[in-house]
């Protein structure tokens, strides 16, 4: 995108807040929040902003034939390593499901894959479910958002349906190319089609809210400050 606001990334946009983005998106008739079950799990939340690259998982069962050759587990899940996305610079890796159901008792990634994602330069790893290998993941620098740690993986239960298109994380549909923003409060998805306008308005409102904070710090009541600035 060539919009001046986005060209300032990450200097200006990384300092905004998810609450402001959520308000702006509400005003654009879009709910951008992720469920609170998706949280930072490898230390204090690290702010990030990146373009989504999606991996969509789907349940799998044995085929109708008990004698026909079956796809190997590796064949069913290998694409979660996103081999077509060698350079993750500026991208947020996002894994979800067809329905949005959170896979909280099975790991959608582990220590080796998370380390590989970090090494390719992804700015975050967002999972609509769990991850395993806490002893590795908790030492990584890349922000990892997930429902928690579990020892069991997806073998025999889930397969990778598609990469680089879309996925659903707890009811939040994410399309590859959308923007993801995470901070201490939570995660927000900003559709690519409205990102320019949303970011521009967010930066404007953040400026107003700084003035609001300054008025309150000077002794003005919140009621009077809001009446003066028209913003809460």
- Provide the pLDDT for residue 211: 53
Instruction: Give the span between the Cα atoms of 67 and 221, in whole angstroms.
Output: 75
pTM of the model: 0.85
> What pLDDT does 1 receive?
42
Give the pLDDT score at 2.
Answer: 46
pLDDT along the chain (232 residues), means of 10: 50 81 96 97 90 95 70 81 92 97 97 97 97 98 98 92 97 97 96 94 79 59 57 53
pLDDT at 216: 63
**Domain ranges in the chain?**
31-190
Q: How far is CA 97 from CA 59, 104, 129, 183, in A?
A: 9, 12, 9, 23
- Cα–Cα distance measured from residue 219 to residue 68, given in angstroms and rounded to the nearest whole number: 76
Per-residue confidence (pLDDT) for residue 210, from 0 to 100: 64
For domain 31-190, the CATH superfamily is Ribonuclease E inhibitor RraA/RraA-like (3.50.30.40)
């Amino acid at each position: 995108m060539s919009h001046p606001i986005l060209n300032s990334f990450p200097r200006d946009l990384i300092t905004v807040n998810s609450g402001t983005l959520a308000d702006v998106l509400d005003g654009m008739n879009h709910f951008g929040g992720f469920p609170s079950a998706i949280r930072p799990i490898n230390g204090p939340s690290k702010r990030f902003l990146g373009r989504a690259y999606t991996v969509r998982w789907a349940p799998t069962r044995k085929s109708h034939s008990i004698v026909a050759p079956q796809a190997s587990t590796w064949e069913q899940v290998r694409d979660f390593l996103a081999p077509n996305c060698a350079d993750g610079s500026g991208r947020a890796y996002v894994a979800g499901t067809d329905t949005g159901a959170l896979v909280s008792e099975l790991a959608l990634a582990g220590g080796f894959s998370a380390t590989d994602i970090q090494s390719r330069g992804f700015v975050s790893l967002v999972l609509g479910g769990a991850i395993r290998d806490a002893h590795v993941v908790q030492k990584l620098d890349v922000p990892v958002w997930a429902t928690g740690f579990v020892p069991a993986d997806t073998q025999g239960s889930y397969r990778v349906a598609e990469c680089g298109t879309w996925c659903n994380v707890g009811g939040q549909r994410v399309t590859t190319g959308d923007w993801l923003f995470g901070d201490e409060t939570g995660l927000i998805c900003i559709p690519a089609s409205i990102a320019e306008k949303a970011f521009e308005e967010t930066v404007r409102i953040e400026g107003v809210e700084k003035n609001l904070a300054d008025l309150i710090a000077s002794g003005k009541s919140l009621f009077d400050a809001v009446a003066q600035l028209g913003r809460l």
